[in-house]
Amino acid sequence: MTGDDRNTDAVTLEIMRNQLESIAEEMGGVLIRGAYSSNIKERQDCSTALFDADGRLLAQAEHIPVHLGAMPASVAAAIERDPQPGDVVVVNDPFEGGGTHLPDVTMVSPLGGTDGSIVGYAASRAHHADVGGATPGSMPAGAREIYEEGVRLPPLFLEREGTVNEDVFGLLLANVRNPTERRADVRAQLAANERAGTRVTELTEEHGRNALRTGFDAIIRYSHDRMRAAIEELPDGTYTAVDRIEGDGIAVEPVPIRAAITVENGSIDVDFEGTAPQVAGNMNAPPAVARSAVYFALRCVTDPEIPPNHGCYDPISVDIPDRSVLDPTPPAAVVGGNVETSQRVTDVVFGALAEAVPDRVPAQGQGTMNNLTIGSRDGSFTYYETIGGGFGARPDKDGIDGVQVGMTNTLNTPVEALELEYPLRVERYALRPGSGGRGRHRGGLGIERSVTVTVDATVSLLTERRRTAPSGIAGGENGATGENQLDGALVPAKTTRDVPAGTTVTVLTPGGGGYGDPSTRDTEDIDRDIADGKRAE
């Protein structure tokens, strides 16, 4: 932090902050438009961000919370390799700086100033539809070791001085299904980082390196001060909550996650003492995933309008027990931890904060990403999607129907794109009437998505809230639990099956919990729900 950053001209500072955010958004646009797989170009399962020369987050695109909160770990791991402008470091290993799970491949590029020095770093992360492993799509439900989940990339140089390292690129492509698609998606990420380099060079020429560094410090300090002020508005105290994962994919016993949140003197400590030990299945989550969930929930409850950067998170500390389900040791399987355990951590943090500020916390949303992966053993296609559900009712309004909740922020795969690109046929795609919990304000509705596979394939489901319903709040009723079916027969929440051509996979996603006593709901709202087919009466 420079000594005079607080005196930075406010207008220049605001212009610079918006320029940085615009660069991050432009990176995302380049990545999405340049990608080949539907998972990136349609669902936008990717994230981009900018960091300063010390690896502090400066600006991010409005992408995926679990990606963005964990991205600083990847940048820090890349910096340890001492990359120079023109280099690109690639990483996906959760135990070596990857931060999340193997399908999330991160690329970090140093950004050079006009004098050749490092001004900052660009980072892009994308969920690749396959990175190898035991099953098509790299999301096996019953994995016991990370080796089953795909190829592991510790921080490696994918580019050196602007030239692609074909040995590293070839190693990656040799270990994945559909390498043509992977090649195109990797190239899209490289293009996104390259665009950031061009724009940051222009920014350096406009402002000068010293002014830019001073501005970076001031932007971070601004968010830090606003976050501290927002935390100081919360009542001091310690607030606790516990929730449970519905088995680890191997055993069915619940896996508890506990959190104690202490608010004191403008800072927050989140302690996960009492959380379950590391599990045999793949619901373990690397620490960066848990931190992402904490940051997301706290930003929601404090002031979501604070510019998201390193300063937001500086007043927040997170304590995680060693060898727990939130800090596993290799070779633990982790692919489900990123997508499902992250959702449960979010629910737990919101649950604890509801004790402190009940008027700011909604009822529980669906609490799952409803991961559906379908692919062929010969590698000809891999389809991956997370399916929306009910958002919990809020203190002043109903929940939202059929949306992504919590740690994901992706779109759906349009029916037209899905049927055009894959040997799949969509039989039904609709809201689930009555699935939202009743209350003064109704929980959002879940979704029914039925897809028929027209070739022999492997289906993997990683889901939650199939046994325990999303909770209502303040007297509101619970939302409906979800269901998974193969040809109409129920299957477990976490399932991998080889299926013959003609099999129909149906996912019924959970609804959100209700808020407030259902008897106090306005009769006009009830009549509208019935007229819209959202409630049977």
Q: Please state the three-class secondary structure of 61-114 as a single string.
A: CCCCHHHHHHHHHHHHHHHCCCCCCCCEEEECCHHHCCCCCCCEEEEEEEEECC
CA distance 15 to 51: 17
3-state secondary structure of 138: coil
Adjacency order of strands within the sheet including 371-375: 382-386, 371-375, 457-462, 494-499
Residue 433, pLDDT above cutoff 80: yes
Residue 438, pLDDT above cutoff 90: yes
The better pLDDT of the pair 351, 114 is held by 351
Query: Residue 465: left (phi > 0), alpha (psi -120 to 50), or beta?
Result: left
pLDDT digits 0-9 by tens, 125-162: 999 999 999 999 999 999 999 999 999 999 999 999 99
| Rounded (10°) angle between helices 179-207 and 10-34 | 160
Residue 522, pLDDT above cutoff 90: yes
In this structure, what token pair is assigned to residue 412? 């759906």
Confidence of residue 173 (pLDDT cuts 50, 70, 90): very high
Confidence of residue 533 (pLDDT cuts 50, 70, 90): confident
Q: How far is CA 526 from CA 135, 399, 512, 513, 534, in A?
A: 46, 14, 17, 16, 9
Residue 288, pLDDT above cutoff 90: yes
Confidence of residue 3 (pLDDT cuts 50, 70, 90): very low
CA distance 471 to 425: 34
Task: Please provide residue 30's backbone torsions phi and psi, each rounded to the nearest 5 degrees.
Answer: -65, -45
pLDDT digits 0-9 by tens, 458-470: 999 999 999 999 9
Average pLDDT, the chain: 95
Residue 536, pLDDT above cutoff 70: no
Confidence of residue 8 (pLDDT cuts 50, 70, 90): low
In this structure, what token pair is assigned to residue 440? 């003064």
3-state secondary structure of 431: strand
Confidence of residue 2 (pLDDT cuts 50, 70, 90): very low
Strand partners, 118: 112
- The one-letter code for the residue type at 502 is G
Confidence of residue 1 (pLDDT cuts 50, 70, 90): very low
Q: Would strands 316-319 and 267-271 be described as parallel, antiparallel, or unpaired?
A: parallel
Q: Is residue 116 within 8 Å of residue 94, measured between CB atoms?
A: no
Task: Please provide residue 88's backbone torsions phi and psi, each rounded to the nearest 5 degrees.
Answer: -135, 125
Arithmetic mean of pLDDT, 401-414: 94
Among 416, 470, 413, which residue's Cα sits nearest to residue 445? Answer: 470
Check residue 252 and give its pLDDT: 95
Boundaries of every domain in the chain: 5-223, 362-537
pLDDT digits 0-9 by tens, 31-48: 999 999 999 999 999 999
Residue 202, pLDDT above cutoff 70: yes
Q: How far is CA 81 from CA 130, 172, 178, 397, in A?
A: 26, 19, 30, 49
Peptide linkage before 331 cis (omega within 30 of 0): yes
In this structure, what token pair is assigned to residue 512? 């959100």
Among 146, 173, 384, 345, which residue's Cα sits nearest to residue 256? Answer: 345
Check residue 99 and give its pLDDT: 80
Specify the pTM. Answer: 0.95
pLDDT digits 0-9 by tens, 227-282: 999 999 999 999 999 999 999 999 999 999 999 999 999 999 999 999 999 999 99
Check residue 537 and give its pLDDT: 58
Check residue 9 and give its pLDDT: 84
In this structure, what token pair is assigned to residue 229? 């002020």
Residue 4, pLDDT above cutoff 60: no
Confidence of residue 98 (pLDDT cuts 50, 70, 90): confident
Check residue 5 and give its pLDDT: 44
